Copies of this chain bind each other. A is one copy, B any other.
Amino acid sequence: MHLLDFQGWSAERVHSILDSADIMREVLDRPVKKVPALQGLTICTAFFENSTRTRTSFELAARRMSADVVSFAAGASSLSKGESLRDTIETLKAMRVDAFIVRHPASGAAHLVARYGGLPTLNAGDGRRAHPTQALLDAYTLRRRLGSLEGLKVAIIGDVRHSRVARSNAELLPLLGAEVTLCGPAPLLPRELARPGVKLTTDPREAVKGAGAVMALRIQQERMAGGFLPSMAEYALSYQVNERLLAEAREDAVLLHPGPMNLDLEVSGSLARSERSLIGEQVENGVAVRMAVLYHLLVGRRE
C-alpha cells in the first residue's frame, strides 16, 4: 500500500486513518511519546528537495513508532553525479529498507519511486502535484475542531498554480463532504482545477463568503520572478488573509496555513497568532497523522 495521492481512495479509508491519528494524538500527550509498532523496521526518507521542517515531522513520527530512520538527502548524493532516480531507489531498496518517504521537485516522482522500489511509499510532496499528508493533517485538524467536514466551505487563497498543498486539499476535502473554493490572481489560478466540489474565483471576498475555514497558501517569492505578480505589496493588498477578509467569512471561521509563513505577506501576523488560527495545531496534528499513515502503510499492509 502507498500514499501517493487520493486517487481511488474512499472516505472510509481516509476516516480510518484519521481515527488512528486520534490514538496517536493521545500518545503524543503522554510523558513518553513512543509506541513499539514499527520496531525493527527501517524507513528511508529520500528527499530530493530540501525541507527540514517536513523531514523533521516525518522523522519524529517514525521514531515515535520506534522505527529506525535513514536519511538520504539528494543534495549530498549521487544524484548530483548523474545517477538516475531508478538506480538510486533500487540501490536503497537493495540495502533492505522497509519503506520510502519521498520528496521530489518533479510532479509524479513519488509514483516512480513506488514502482521502482516496490515498497510502501509515502509521498511527502512531488512537484506541484500532491502533498497528501499535508491535506490529511488539514482534514484532521478541521474534523477534530468541527466534528465533521460535511457541508463545510473551505477557501484556499494564494498561489494555487504552484501549490501541491492546494491540489491535495482539492482532492481530499470534497471526498469528505467539504466544498473547496480555490482563489488567487488569474495567472496563478489554473482553470483546469475546477470540478464538482471545487470552485474557482479570483475574488477573495467571494471565496471566503460562508466559509468555515480559510487557508492561506505560502507565496514562494523565488517563483514570482516569472512575472506572475506585479509586486509582493500588490499581492498583499488584494489577497492577504487578514482580519478584514475573515470578517466576510462565517463568524467562527478558522485559519489554516501549511507553513512556513511569510508574515504580513500572504497572512497577517496578528491573525496568524490569534485565537482563530489553527496553525500550531496543524503542526502538532501533522506528527500524529504521519504516525497514523505509517501505521497503515506498514502494519496495516495485510488488509
Per-residue CB proximity of A130-145 to B under 8 Å, as 1/0?
Answer: 0000000000000000
Chain B residue at smallest Cβ distance from A263: B84
Among the 9-residue stretches A49-57, A149-157, A163-171, A204-212, the one with 4 or more Cβ atoms under 8 Å from chain B is A49-57
Instruction: Given A40-B32, A42-B63, verify A283-B52 contact (CB < 8 Å).
Output: no
Task: Out of B42, B280, B286, name the residue touching A33 (CB < 8 Å).
Answer: B42
Residues of B within 8 A of A70 (CB): 56, 59-60, 63
Chain B residues whose CB sits within 8 angstroms of the CB of A32 once the complex forms: 39-41
A87-B260, A95-B60, A96-B284 known; A52 and B40 CB under 8 Å? Answer: no
Whether A235 is near chain B, meaning CB under 8 Å from some CB there, is: no
**Least Cβ–Cβ distance between A26 and chain B, in angstroms:** 12
- Chain B residue, CB-CB nearest to A282: B94
Q: Kindly list chain B residues whose C-beta atoms are within 8 Å of the C-beta of A147.
A: none
Does A270 sit at the interface, judged by CB under 8 A?
no
The smallest C-beta distance from A179 to any residue of chain B, in angstroms, reads 28
In the complex, are the beta carbons of B73 and A68 less than 8 A apart? no
* Selected contact of A40 from candidates B34, B57, B87, B96, CB within 8 Å: B34
Q: Is the pair A283, B91 in contact by a Cβ cutoff of 8 Å? A: yes
Q: Within 8 Å CB of A42, what residues of B?
A: 33, 60, 63
Copy number in the complex reads 3
Of A3-11, A74-82, A107-115, A186-194, the one with at least 4 CB within 8 A of chain B: A74-82
Q: Does A105 contact B (CB under 8 A)?
A: no
Contact with B along A89-101 (1 / 0, CB 8 A): 0111011110000
Residues on B with beta carbons closer than 8 Å to the beta carbon of A76 = 50, 52, 73, 75
Closest B residue to A44 by beta carbon equals: B56
- The 30 sampled A-B contact pairs (Cβ below 8 Å) are A28-B96, A33-B96, A34-B40, A42-B63, A51-B78, A52-B72, A52-B76, A53-B77, A56-B72, A56-B92, A56-B95, A57-B95, A59-B70, A60-B95, A60-B96, A63-B68, A63-B70, A78-B259, A81-B220, A81-B260, A84-B263, A87-B260, A87-B261, A87-B263, A90-B280, A90-B283, A91-B259, A91-B260, A95-B286, A96-B284
Other 8 A-B pairs with CB < 8 A, given A83-B259, A87-B263, A91-B260? A53-B77, A56-B70, A56-B72, A57-B95, A75-B76, A87-B261, A91-B259, A95-B287
